Amino acid sequence: MAFKDGVFGYIDKTGKLPFDTPFDFISPFKEGLASIRVESKYGFIDKKGEIAIPIIYEDALHFCKGLAAVMMNDKWGYIDKQGNPVSSFEYDYLGYVHKGLAVVENDHKWGIIQFSTTY
């Protein structure tokens, strides 16, 4: 990963940019996708540098076991690798998913949610 002129991007083994990366931020790739930020909004790119999930979120964490936590309207929820929501966007905090379970917090109350499909 490289940072030049206020822009993050990836370089290949020869030191060249493998694709144009006009992003304010780019995370490491996890499970084939990297979160990006453009003008205060987040989305995800694939390893070709193409937008895989639209840049519409207020924040985004990396993928873990096929799911990523993303924020919309100041609340967190989970999406899958196709960008489909797999939980409601109602949480103040989300933990990473393990064996189909995730720790969540809302209004200082903690709980566990279970997904119908094990991630």
Range of the domain at 21: 2-114
> What separation, in Å, do the N-terminal and C-terminal C-alpha atoms of the chain show?
28
Q: For residue 53, is it within any domain?
A: yes
With a cut of 70, say whether residue 37 has pLDDT above it. yes
Number of domains in the chain: 1
The single-letter DSSP state of residue 81 is T
32 within 8 A of 47, measured Cβ to Cβ: yes
Q: Is residue 96 part of a domain?
A: yes
**11 is a domain residue:** yes
pLDDT of 55 reads 95
Would you state the pLDDT for residue 5? 56
Q: Hey, what are 14's tokens?
A: 């020869």
For residue 119, name the pLDDT band (cuts at 50, 70, 90). low
Q: Which of 94, 5, 101 is nearest to 57 (CA)?
A: 94
- Polymer length of the chain: 119
Name residue, tokens 């995370």: 27
Look up the CATH number of the domain holding residue 63. 2.40.128
Domain assignment present for residue 73? The answer is: yes
Any domain includes 83:
yes
Let me know if residue 60 belongs to a domain.
Answer: yes
Look at residue 119 and tell me if it is in a domain: no
Q: Is residue 31 part of a domain?
A: yes
How confident is the model over 54-71, as pLDDT tens digits?
999 999 999 988 999 999
